[in-house]
A and B are shown apart, each in its own frame.
Chain A
Amino acid sequence: MRKPLLIQIVFALVIAIGFGWAALNVAGNLERQGIASGFGFLSSTAGFGIISSLIPWTETSSYGRALVVGLLNTLLVSSLGIVLATILGVATGVARLSPNWLLAKVAGFFVELMRNLPLLLIIFFLYFGVLRLLPSPSESLSLGDVIFLNNRGLYVPWFFSVPELDGFDFTGGLAITPEFIALLAALVLYTAGFIAEIVRGGILAVPPGQREAALALGLSRTQMLRMVILPQALRAIVPPLTSQYLNLTKNSSLAAAIGYPDLVQVFAGTVLSQTGQAVEIIAITMGVYLIISLLIALAMNIWNERTRIIERGAA
């Protein structure tokens, strides 16, 4: 009975000594480089601009506010991405099982393509290969003269305000930056490829008798899918879907590669290089992602409980 206890004490000691040694080195190295430690920097003035922000941002705002701006941008692109990727993913997954040969093959090719390409390549392709090569604002592509697309971004009507060309740029409406469009579109396409496979697997896991019974009752294919197949398939779909949502949120950090001001780009990028306080900044960044991950996992677990089918005879 003594041996396991001894092993654990030795193990814990080794880890503690390792951390202590690292902490001493960090303290020594920071002192030599003249970098302050602690979280005081969060209230210092940032002094840099951010291209898009959901809350008011000026160059005199603090580093702490930069953290919030980055976090909100991460949450914005992730939540929109989750909704759109789910829609596209479910549609693609269902299309792969379509009786129509052409539709099934096209959906299958899309899934294979997305699953075998790096996300960063898709982001770069959309950003440098497509959006940045669009015409300038004065030669914008337009849809009915209310929606405009050019190399500065997408301009859409917003609350009775229609975008209008004013000199060299547009005023009014809602301006969406190309960085945001490229990141969101890439996240949606990429994740949809993975969600489609999950949905397809979930549908195939429903016993074929259910489908036959539904058709025998005279339900149409759409009714059968919506009322019989999908509710049962959800049981198999929700757990792996959770990890796709987590992946999408974590993958949104690739924003840093094209300069969309998300948490990593603003905080772990710009703020880190200005202050040099690597330990605190990386700890905060990782902590925030861990909290987001935990919250998504929690929400999905609750949903999973609710979509679970109560078996007959269960109390």
Chain B
Amino acid sequence: MTLGAETSLASWRIRLLGSVGNTITTLVLGVILALALIPALRWAVLDATFFGTTQADCTGGGACWVFVRERIGQFVFGFYPEAERWRVALTFAVFAAAAVPLLWPSREGSTLARLRQPFMALLIVGFPVLCWLVIYGALPGLVPIETAKWGGLMLTLLVSSIGISLALPLGVLLALGRQSALPVIRVSSVTFIELWRGVPLITILFMASVMLPLVLPRDVTVDKLVRALVGITLFASAYMAEVVRGGLQMIPRGQFEAARAIGLSPWQLQRLIVLPQALRIAVPGIVNTFIGLVKDTSLILIVGMFDLLGMIQSASTHPDWLGSAIEGYVFGGLCFFVICGAMSHYSRRLELKLGSN
């Protein structure tokens, strides 16, 4: 016991004060941290105002968290009517429940693993439909809510989840196309992938929002949200194709030869042998692409839609709350940090697990 304490004390001494250079680093860094953290702590907690209803209640000189408290409904749901917000919550609860069998690391052959493929198909087709039926309100008895009223964290998660679910099948097709023996299909796939990967997302969103109405016949109108989704999906599918290609390349040649030897057709070979293995290897990459997409979704504010960041931005320019921008950004940053951090933690654990198999 005593020995253990001594050893750990000694190891701390080495880690912080091991040599002259090390000691100086610790001291300098310690002073800088103290100079930065103490005022930050005072601003965020000690001098901050947590309760009240208007900016006038914030008299402490620190952060005015009243702003976040007052606007939290908008940050999460946008301008979606308060009485109908249960519909959004319900849709996301169903989505989360359906996503569990896909993301839970389960052994091949277990019930959960067998559910994986039907669930994935269900999710890809089902989630956008569910959003349309329940969140938009296409079901009889529900009040339709225009997509212009959707916003906040809900829009961030909705756009990125629909984007990734549509991008996955497209990405698989593109990745297979890129490896195809047929030159026309190979060249088309490579051109598609490299084109969207070579340009910024903003230009794709601009393109989708300006060009889509031009490309379609005059009597067809496309909702702003759908336009943004088209852009996001094109963008994500190109990155997804590369992630899936990485998975495909990990499949040993022997698997192909064995499948052909037992007489599987090319489609059977892909569907039964190659894709299930490749997609499993690609899961960490898919999660990382999703994290990127959650962050990139904030760009839809450039084409006039308000995700979490967009809502914070517009709320902090409201005359009642001028000067509260930092509180808003800190809150938004915390949301993104927790959501993306949790997902990247998950994908890193999965990567380690796959690596050890």
B188 close to A (CB within 8 Å): yes
A121 close to B (CB within 8 Å): yes
Chain B residues 282-312 with CB under 8 Å of chain A are: 291, 295-296, 298-299, 301-302, 309
Chain B interface extent, by class: 35 or more
In the complex, how many angstroms separate the beta carbon of B106 from the nearest chain A beta carbon? 27
Q: A121-B336, A278-B210 are in contact. Are A100 and B16 (CB under 8 A)?
A: yes
In the complex, how many angstroms separate the beta carbon of B315 from the nearest chain A beta carbon? 12
B195 touches A125 (CB 8 A): no
A211 close to B (CB within 8 Å): no
Q: List B contacts of A112 (CB < 8 A).
A: 337, 341
- The dominant DSSP class at the A interface is helix
**Least CB separation from B11: chain A residue:** A101
User: Which of B25, B199, B214 contacts A30 (CB under 8 A)?
Assistant: B214
A121 touches B206 (CB 8 A): no
**Least CB separation from A128: chain B residue:** B325
Residues on A facing B (Cβ under 8 Å): 4, 7-8, 11-12, 15, 22, 25-26, 28-30, 32, 98-103, 106, 112-113, 115-121, 124-125, 128-129, 133, 246, 250-251, 253-254, 256-257, 264, 268, 272, 278-279, 282, 285-286, 289-290, 293-294
Q: List A contacts of B296 (CB < 8 A).
A: 118
B211 touches A25 (CB 8 A): no
**Stretch of B26-34, B91-99, B147-155 on the interface side:** B26-34
B333 close to A (CB within 8 Å): yes
B214 touches A29 (CB 8 A): yes
User: Which of A254, A289, A293 contacts B299 (CB under 8 A)?
Assistant: A254
Q: List A contacts of B83 (CB < 8 A).
A: none
A113 touches B337 (CB 8 A): yes
Residues on B facing A (Cβ under 8 Å): 12, 14-16, 18, 22, 25-26, 29-30, 33, 181-185, 188, 195, 198-203, 206-207, 210-211, 213-218, 291, 295-296, 298-299, 301-302, 309, 313, 316, 323, 325-326, 329, 332-333, 336-337, 340-341, 344
Q: A113-B337, A264-B203 are in contact. Are A290 and B195 (CB under 8 A)?
A: yes
A103 touches B29 (CB 8 A): yes
Q: List A contacts of B203 (CB < 8 A).
A: 253, 264, 268, 282, 285-286, 289
Q: A264-B202, A289-B200 are in contact. Are A256 and B298 (CB under 8 A)?
A: no
Complexed CA–CA distance, A254 and B302 (Å): 9
B214 touches A278 (CB 8 A): yes
In the complex, how many angstroms separate the beta carbon of A282 from the nearest chain B beta carbon? 5
A250 touches B199 (CB 8 A): yes
Q: List A contacts of B336 (CB < 8 A).
A: 116-118, 121
B207 touches A12 (CB 8 A): no
In the complex, how many angstroms separate the beta carbon of A135 from the nearest chain B beta carbon? 14
Q: List A contacts of B201 (CB < 8 A).
A: 250
Complexed CA–CA distance, A177 and B209 (Å): 30
A272 touches B195 (CB 8 A): no
